[in-house]
Amino acid sequence: MPQHALSSACRFSRTAFFIILAVFVFPNAHAQNQPEPLAVRNVRGGIWQVQGGSGANTGFFVGKHEVLVIDAKMTGESALAMIAEIGKVTPNPVRRVLLTHSDRDHVNGLSGFPKGLTIIAHEETRRLMDGAFQEDALRSRLPDVTFSERLTLRVDSTELILLYFGPAHTCGDAVVYFPAEKVVFIGDLLFIGRDPLIHLAKNGSSFGWVRVLKSILELDADLFLSGHADPAGRVDLEAMIRSLEEKQAGVKALADQGRTLEEVKAAFGVEPGGRWMSLVEVIYRELSMKE
Ligand SMILES: [Zn+2]
């Protein structure tokens, strides 16, 4: 058999193999966007992370007598499933819920939590939730404790600090810092491998985001847990700062030449009609607002 015939036969069998694999092994791979099942893992000390389910990643801290949850998932159903998973780790009740920001994939699951918990968020996040929450099941779970710059909490002897460094993803992004464990929950302040989503309508800011990430890196911490990425290290935050700064400089250079928004978007290959405003557009609009 000539060489090229052999190689094309190999190619055929490889292709056939992957088709068979796709059809029989992953029959629903593209059928629907079912969320991944909940996966609970111990991160460090009493700190746990929950990935999967409906909505963003969440976390929880297990104390001697209580559990403190960080973010509430997107639906009451998914929150109940998360609470059931927490019950497999500890019999202690959830008493407090901290919210990193107001997006529905982080807060709408509050409807699945028992009433009477202490719900804690940045004051701007409470304001945004107050505007968005319509149903009673959510209105009855608006944050009852808010902070503006810094709030220190204790669970037994463990200290955790809620910090606010300014607008970035939204104007109410809380960072939850566990100093002894050197772990920080940063909500949606980290996107890996794609441009970050910035809510201009919630007064988010790409330039603010760079400042916020630099402030987070001033904390003595080496593990960063976020809503839509795997646990990350300092290098991941540094990479995001670099990529934001590069894009800001690129957009500014074109804007300074008098290019229109459409021209700048085209120059960056931004596809029209995305669900969210592209980072390029956010930066362009921020630059025009500054003038
Ligand atoms: Zn978000």
Distance (angstroms) between ligand 1 centre and the Cα of 167 equals 13
Residues 251, 284 contacting (CB under 8 angstroms): yes
Ion ligand 1 neighbours (CB, 5 A) are: 103, 188
Give the residue from 204, 50, 172, 177 showing the smallest Cα distance to 102.
172
Judge whether residue 124 has pLDDT over 80: yes
Model confidence at 291, pLDDT cuts 50, 70, 90, reads low
- Model confidence pLDDT, tens digit, residues 97-107: 999 999 999 99
Q: Is the pTM of this model over 0.75?
A: yes
Q: What is the mean pLDDT of the chain?
A: 89
Judge whether residue 16 has pLDDT over 80: no
Residue 188: C-alpha distances to residues 75, 99, 168, 174 (Å): 18, 11, 9, 10
Distance (angstroms) between ligand 1 centre and the Cα of 133 equals 16
What's the mean pLDDT in 133-154? 95
Dihedral pair phi/psi, residue 77, rounded to 5°: -60, -45
- Model confidence pLDDT, tens digit, residues 170-204: 999 999 999 999 999 999 999 999 999 999 999 99
Q: What is the rounded CA–CA span in Å between residue 113 and residue 127? A: 20
- CATH topology for the 39-234 domain: Metallo-beta-lactamase; Chain A (3.60.15)
H/E element, 67: strand 67-70
Distance (angstroms) between ligand 1 centre and the Cα of 3 equals 54
- Model confidence pLDDT, tens digit, residues 17-62: 444 344 344 434 334 567 889 999 999 999 999 999 999 999 999 9
The domain locations on the chain are 39-234
DSSP at 187: T
CA dihedral sign of residues 201, 207, 210, 213: negative
Distance (angstroms) between ligand 1 centre and the Cα of 274 equals 17
